[in-house]
Amino acid sequence: MSKIQVMDTSLANKIAAGEVVEKTMNVVKELVENSIDAKASVIKIELIDSGVKEIKVVDDGIGMDENDAVLAFSRHATSKLKTLDDLFNINSLGFRGEALPSIASVSNILLKTSDGKTGTIVSLEGGIVKEVKSGDIKRGTTIIVSNLFYNTPVRLKYLKSLYTELANITDYVNKMALSYPNIKFILINNGKELLNTSGNGDLLKTILNIYGNIVASKMMYIESENDDYMINGYISYPELTKSNRTSMTLLVNNRVVKNNEIIKTILEAFHTYIPKDRCPYIVLNIEVDPFLVDVNVHPTKMEVKFSKIDSLQSLIYETITNKLNEKTLIPKVMNEFVEDNYYKDTKETNFFVNDNLYENEEKKELVEKKQVEEITFDFDTFSTKEEIKDDEVVIQEDSRIKNMYPIGIVHGTYIICENDHGMFIIDQHAAAERINYEKYYHALSTHSKNTIDVLIPYQIELTSNEYLILEKNFHILDRLGFKYEEFGSNTIIIRTHPTWIPKYAPLEAIMKIIDIIILNEDFDEDKFNEKVSITLACKMSIKAGDVITMPDMTYLIEELRKTKNPFTCPHGRPTIIAYTKYDLEKLFKRAM
């Protein structure tokens, strides 16, 4: 007797169901996508116990006749692929012909459908057709899936809690509503309505339906294209973030997809605008010739591969950064934003900042001894512009922030300012970090060669393994402009360093740079420049609680206004928040 046998159809469908149907959300996904492919304008999803007991999907699409209604539950039966060439030009959401037979094999199904001419009702149990009869001729399709996994109890046991299953379904339906704002989506669980979109084609209105008014009011529209791709959608202001990626919706030709490379590109575009462990709200649709994208990677069809992905990443990065650079991003306390006309728009600017913004240990000691005495930093002690004449750049006078005037400080940290438009609060450490970060990054990325000799050379001793790594990367020190000598075992002497190294604590700064070189053996110049700039800006700037005078505050504000991004520190924390005059009047009941 032969050992190899053709698998029973019912068994094959159950095995296929293991890939296609892992949870209730997968069933909803397949049914909703069929409704969309059927050109429905209204899709209603009704659940009982998060879909474990019953999933009902009703649409007003083109429907099916009796032959198609029965054939739809045959494996590999599809209306969406005719030839092999169609596989490389996919314009529908479904195309494998596996979903309905796979779902039917592990549940009971009742299908009611009509193409407007004839109506058909098909009932199945465990994938076997039990009855086919005539039904009403109201155009559209209703499909009811009940007792999911009743004949595969092992799979039923591995379903998550009802709350988790419902959360997965809700997340998916939300994303589909964002993909198709021209379709009205209604989601109900145990009689409670969870979503009801307008279906009028307004994406921002759909965002409001899903996320609420606060999120919708803080979204910015983006649109751009190149030779290969078109992108459009909404991105949030940097102050609006989540701790996970569920707020980021990626669409390819209106298909909800996952792609880590694109997510990484978006997060890089928001770099220093938001904290590194936060994610913005994104609804981004990528339009591309189907020939340039492969959606046939996994049965769920959510993972995609792009041809010419570098072109797409560049387009997304530039579009988002350009939008962020043109907007005024000061968050308002009253859950609103400072209106754009309060401030002047500007192009990006580069600058250098004096060393008075570095934390001064000697002056901190003086403050401890003379608590009442006011300390004045000497702004003219070191002139960075005089020292780095080669790298001096023109500073634009216009800024996205209008001039403001300091009137005091709270808790030794928050500078209170005012202008004709309202009151502003500036975090002195975050502001100094931003200023110094851009100074360091500009010097590093432009390969500044301006150096200064030290009066007494710095001797740096390392462990043997640290020294071996540093020795391998001496070229990095050379590029930065350091002049050094090997001095005995595992020791070097620094005789010259770049002028942008802070003057009050140069050895500490040099040690931090060497530590970064040692801890990052795989050298990438951009990442290295970023790491050095952020580290030095954080460690070498004035801190919360440091005493600064009114002239210091004025200088800090002016330098902040000249930066490319005056709204956040390099870690993504806000540097400034605003109360408009109207906000203040509302707080004190002068305006109702």
pLDDT at 57: 95
**C-alpha–C-alpha distance, residues 104 and 53, integer Å:** 14
Q: Which strands, in side-by-side order, build the sheet including 483-486?
A: 451-461, 491-498, 483-486
Mean predicted lDDT score pLDDT of the chain: 79
Residues 580 and 465 in one domain: no
Question: Going by DSSP bridges, is the β-strand pair 229-236/282-288 parallel, antiparallel, or unpaired?
Answer: antiparallel
pLDDT score of 389 more than 70: no
Q: Are the C-beta atoms of residues 282 and 231 closer than 8 Å to each other?
A: no
Do the domain assignments include residue 190?
A: yes
Do the domain assignments include residue 367?
A: yes
pLDDT score of 76 more than 70: no
Residues 181 and 251 in one domain: no
The CATH number that applies at residue 481 is 3.30.1370.100
**C-alpha–C-alpha distance, residues 482 and 495, integer Å:** 8
The CATH number that applies at residue 546 is 3.30.1540.20
Which tokens in the block code for residue 224?
Answer: 């751009």
**C-alpha–C-alpha distance, residues 231 and 354, integer Å:** 42
Q: Are the C-beta atoms of residues 536 and 440 closer than 8 Å to each other?
A: yes
Q: Around Cβ 540, how many Cβ atoms within 10 Å?
A: 22
Residues 377 and 261 in one domain: no
Residues 131 and 188 in one domain: yes
Which tokens in the block code for residue 305?
Answer: 């591969």
Do the domain assignments include residue 91?
A: yes
100-129 in b/e burial notation, b at 16+ Cβ within 10 A?
A: bbbbbbbbbbbbbbbbeebbbbbbbebbee
Q: Are the C-beta atoms of residues 119 and 137 closer than 8 Å to each other?
A: yes
Contact partners, residue 448, CB within 8 Å, separation at least 6: 388, 390, 391, 481, 498, 499, 500
Number of domains present in the structure of the chain: 4
pLDDT of 506-561, one tens digit each? 888 898 898 888 887 667 788 888 888 898 888 888 888 888 889 999 999 999 98
350-387 in b/e burial notation, b at 16+ Cβ within 10 A?
A: bbbbbbbbbbbeebeeebeeeeeeeeebeeeebebeeb
pLDDT at 201: 92
Q: What is the mean pLDDT of residues 12-26?
A: 63
**C-alpha–C-alpha distance, residues 29 and 299, integer Å:** 12
The CATH number that applies at residue 39 is 3.30.565.10
Do the domain assignments include residue 239?
A: yes
Please say which residue of 302, 326, 350 terminates a domain.
Answer: 326
pLDDT at 60: 94
Do the domain assignments include residue 52?
A: yes
**C-alpha–C-alpha distance, residues 548 and 551, integer Å:** 8
The CATH number that applies at residue 255 is 3.30.230.10
Phi, psi angles (nearest 5°) of residue 291: -65, -25
pLDDT of 134-174, one tens digit each? 988 889 999 999 988 877 765 666 677 888 889 889 999 99
Do the domain assignments include residue 49?
A: yes
Which stretch of DSSP H or E encloses residue 76?
Answer: none
Residues 109 and 185 in one domain: yes
Residues 88 and 121 in one domain: yes
Owning domain of residue 45: 9-196
**C-alpha–C-alpha distance, residues 562 and 346, integer Å:** 10
Q: What is the mean pLDDT of residues 92-104?
A: 67
pLDDT score of 45 more than 90: yes
Residues 78 and 143 in one domain: yes
Residues 160 and 59 in one domain: yes
pLDDT at 8: 55
Q: Around Cβ 491, how many Cβ atoms within 10 Å?
A: 13
Do the domain assignments include residue 206?
A: no
pLDDT of 554-581, one tens digit each? 999 999 989 989 999 998 899 999 988 8
pLDDT score of 397 more than 90: no
Residues 427 and 478 in one domain: no
Please say which residue of 284, 304, 326 terminates a domain.
Answer: 326
According to DSSP, the residues that pair with 576 across neighbouring strands are 426
Residues 191 and 87 in one domain: yes
Residues 373 and 514 in one domain: no
Q: What residue has token string 């075992």?
A: 489
Which tokens in the block code for residue 588?
Answer: 């004190």
Please say which residue of 299, 326, 353 terminates a domain.
Answer: 326
Residues 277 and 258 in one domain: yes
Do the domain assignments include residue 208?
A: no
pLDDT score of 77 more than 80: no
pLDDT of 416-445, one tens digit each? 999 888 899 999 999 999 999 999 999 888
